[in-house]
Structure 1
Amino acid sequence: MVRQDKQGPHRVAYEKNKKVIFKTQNVCGICGKQVDFSIKAPEPLSPVVDHIIPVSKGGHPSAMENLQLAHWTCNRQKSDKMFLAKQEAPQVLGNRNLPQSTNWATYKG
């Protein structure tokens, strides 16, 4: 069976979205490191498009929300596994929690 992003109606949308991703993204969505677009396939660090949710697991074959930039080797290692990058919750600091660089009580400006 041929994948939907390789043939059929999703092919054109996939190729269009691939061009957009190559123009707008520069970090591998899997390892988080910079992608060098001067490296060409079949080099391990060459840029490819990865399906965040694999097509074999029900991911959309050409939707922009399901595509990300990746290194070839990272994408091969991920294969058809589900992988979500560890996202840390943004930490909000109030003014009282910030380090004090100056003792403002004794400041004489």
Structure 2
Amino acid sequence: MQRPDRTGPHRAQFERNKKIILRTQNVCGICGRPVDLSLKPPNPLAPCIDHIVPVSKGGHPSDIENLQLAHWTCNRQKSDKLFKNKEAMEPQVIGNRNLPWSTDWTKYKPKKFKA
């Protein structure tokens, strides 16, 4: 049995969304490095379309919100795994307040002032 994004009614929408992504994105959604769109397979850094939530894990096969640009090797290494992204993670609670992600305040040491 083939995946829904390879055949059937989702294929046309997947191809349209693939063209949009190749036109608008230029960074790998997995590793964060630039993707050279001029490379072609079998080059390991060739661009491909990755399903953020894999189809095998219930991700929509053609929804543009579930698709991202990726390097071929990054996509192969990710396979059908799910990764937590920083936005989806709950902020760590230290004491009675939530601290920003921009600084790791757990390692903060105040400077001592000379009197």
- Range class of TM-score, shorter chain: 0.7 to 0.9
Task: Give the Cα separation in 1 of the matches to 2:31 and 2:85.
Answer: 8
Matched residue, 1:47: 47
**TM-score, structure 1 length as denominator?**
0.78
Considering Cα pairs closer than 8 Å and 6+ residues apart, tell me whether 1 or 2 has the greater RCO: 1
CA shift, 1:38, in A, is: 1.1
**TM-score, structure 2 length as denominator?**
0.74
Task: Give the Cα separation in 1 of the matches to 2:85 and 2:46.
Answer: 20
Task: Give the Cα separation in 2 of the matches to 1:57 and 1:50.
Answer: 13
Task: Give the Cα separation in 2 of the matches to 1:83 and 1:44.
Answer: 21
Secondary structure in 2 matching 1:31: coil
Cα RMSD (Å): 1.6
Matched residue, 1:35: 35
Matched residue, 1:57: 57
CA shift, 1:90, in A, is: 6.3
Task: Look up the equivalent residue of 2:16 and give its one-letter code.
Answer: K
Structure number having the greater helix percentage: 1
Secondary structure in 2 matching 1:48: strand
Matched residue, 1:94: none
Matched residue, 2:80: 80
CA shift, 1:46, in A, is: 0.2
CA shift, 1:84, in A, is: 3.3
CA shift, 1:85, in A, is: 3.8
Q: Which runs of 4+ in 1 moved over 3 A?
A: 84-91
- 1:23-51 CA distance string (max 9 Å, x none): 00000000000000111011100000000
Using the aligned pairs only, state the percent identity.
66
CA contact (8 A) 1:54 1:80 kept: yes
Matched residues, number: 91
Q: Unpaired runs of 5+ in structure 2?
A: 92-99, 103-115
CA shift, 1:86, in A, is: 3.8
The structure with the largest alpha-carbon Rg is: 1
